[in-house]
Structure 1
Amino acid sequence: MTGDVWEVGDAYEAYVGRWSRRVAVEFVGWLGVPAGRRWLDAGCGTGALTSAILAAPADVTGVDPSAGFLRSAPQTAGTRQTGGTPQTGGTPQTAGARLVVGDAAALPLRDASFDVVVSGLALNFVPRPEQAIAEFARVAAPGAVVASYVWDYATGMRMMRYFWDVAAEVVPAAADRDEGSRFPICHEPALRAAWAGAGFTEVATRAIEIPTVFSGFDDFWRPFLGGQGAAPAYLATLGEDEQMEIRERLRERLPDGPDGSIALTASAWAVRGLAPAPGDA
């Protein structure tokens, strides 16, 4: 993920966090986990998925490598941030969240500690996602739900698709930075195969689509100037003339309504499975 920037929470929220929160609500509803379970949110970022989980309520540990993102995570009752290993044993007495700086591919957590292990919009940014999935399996209790979702960068995440298509017209080398081609895990067959390969049972997948309506072109374009995420980080490397050319081509191409609003959609692929019990084939 060289060149991608993930540190400033407010800029990320303006760019994609506001949309990922809507996907998180749909995702948690799909899992249908009863209240009061022990959850791990691996790659929790600014807390979009953590917030949706806490509505259950539940006991949540959020892990992310970005201390800046963790500082931007919602500070709900019981939320606390630490650099150490959280206590995860036993049955939670109160709902809340623990925020821990850590790597999804090397979780600083105990074996078989969680009833639910989830990861939202993060697997594609792990250099070797199979290592992270193996870690999910390690910390999941027998029979735990293990699930994830990723943007459908190839066709379904329309705001990014418009950007990369136009950017490649202006700067052909931009095609090499396009998330649609860079992240092979962000496809339904790849997610299903990864979950099956990790030994999870009852594997299922689904698409989650949400509306992404921008009030006008500035509402669409301004977040691309924040430097957070693959597309904004790439845009920041370009000269002013190239940036202006991309902006004006996007302005011409995006579908706008009579009131100037831009109505797009964003799709994510979700996968879920169950951690096998000891002795399961």
Structure 2
Amino acid sequence: MAGADVWQSGEPYERYVGRWSRLVAAKFVDVLDAERDIRWLDVGCGTGALTSAVVERWAPASIIGVDPSEGFLSLARARPEFAGHDEASFVVGDAGHLPVPDDSVDAVVSGLVLNFVPDPAAAVAEFARVAAPGALMAAYVWDYAEGMQMLRTFWDVAADVDADAAEFDEARRFPLCRPEPLRHLWSDAPGMDVDSVRVKSIEIGMVFADFDDLWEPFLGGQGPAPTYLQSTTDASRDAVRDGMREATAWGCRPDGSIMLRARAWVVVGRLG
């Protein structure tokens, strides 16, 4: 039986989904109706992919990255793109209790986090607390139900090997991976201008050098699927690996690389 999802070590996370998070973050900041030289907050900043994208695209006056994992924050602080950028800082904290004063930021963003907080509505209310009047609030989550081919394939194969695996499938566990629940979450936020709320999709290509590049990050223990794999027997892991190899063969290219698609849902709104 798998335990709680593990999100502690930056390097394994980067190999698993962090490298793809950076691609989504770059597209996400481009769809925001934001301004330069304003105050930002990145909730659940992890290893700093979204924080970096905001710095590059919007040149903020300040940006605070908040995450409960010191291991992730250590990697974020060490990113070379933050060298010389005193406006970027990183602090330990969680989405439900942000270490930020009321009405103190002009934009609150969050990437690939809302599905993993215990109470998403309370977290979004906390976003609204720290946001100044008229502030931008935006987030994105993976489309675990249909659009994240790497994980959709993994869980379909895992369920064929072990019927209990379906219990840990992100598509089943996280209803916010679909547009309408996201829209309702934002529309219900305290002070939200409901007419400003929009949901849109972002798609990226995930190119793996070979099957090992796809499979080995699942062994790193970071996130639901790797956490689940650590709880299984060697025989079950081997069966899932072999099933994944077969199930992703359609994406193989002549050079041995594998191309899969990934979709994220974006929700955007402004406080009144």
User: What TM-score comes out, normalization by structure 1 length?
Assistant: 0.90
Letter of the 1:265 partner, please give it. Answer: R
* Pick aligned residue for 2:59 from 57, 60, 63: 57
1-side partners of 2:108 and 2:3: how far apart? Answer: 27
Contact residue 141 and residue 264 of structure 2 kept, 8 A:
yes
2-side partners of 1:39 and 1:50: how far apart? Answer: 9
2:134 paired with 1:128: no
* Pick aligned residue for 2:151 from 160, 171, 192: 160
Give the match's secondary structure for 1:33.
coil
2:192 paired with 1:200: yes
Give the match's secondary structure for 1:185.
helix
Structure 1 residue 186: Cα displacement: 1.6
Q: Which residue of 2 aligns with 1:249?
A: 243
Give the match's secondary structure for 1:145.
strand
> Between the two proteins, what is the percent identity of the paired residues?
55
1-side partners of 2:84 and 2:138: how far apart? Answer: 24
Structure 1 residue 96: Cα displacement: 2.2
Letter of the 1:53 partner, please give it. Answer: V
Q: Which residue of 1 aligns with 2:73?
A: 70
Contact residue 213 and residue 261 of structure 1 kept, 8 A:
yes
Give the match's secondary structure for 2:151.
helix
Cα deviation digits, residues 196-238 of structure 1 (max 9, x gap):
1114221011000000011110010010011111101111111
2-side partners of 1:77 and 1:210: how far apart? Answer: 28
Instruction: Name stretches of at least 5 consecutive residues in structure 2 with no aligned partner.
Output: none
Counterpart mapping for 1:98-247 below 5 A: 98-198=89-189, 199-201=191-193, 202-247=196-241
Instruction: Name stretches of at least 5 consecutive residues in structure 1 with no aligned partner.
Output: 80-94, 277-281
Counterpart mapping for 1:76-91 below 5 A: 76-78=82-84
1-side partners of 2:87 and 2:211: how far apart? Answer: 38
1-side partners of 2:243 and 2:115: how far apart? Answer: 28
Q: Which residue of 1 aligns with 2:35?
A: 34
Give the match's secondary structure for 2:197.
strand
Contact residue 6 and residue 224 of structure 2 kept, 8 A:
yes
1-side partners of 2:247 and 2:262: how far apart? Answer: 17
Residue-pair matches, total: 261
Contact residue 3 and residue 228 of structure 2 kept, 8 A:
no
User: What TM-score comes out, normalization by structure 2 length?
Assistant: 0.93
Structure 1 residue 78: Cα displacement: 5.0
Contact residue 78 and residue 97 of structure 1 kept, 8 A:
no
1-side partners of 2:122 and 2:31: how far apart? Answer: 25
Runs of 4+, deviation exceeding 2 Å: none
Q: Which residue of 2 aligns with 1:271?
A: 267
Letter of the 1:77 partner, please give it. Answer: A
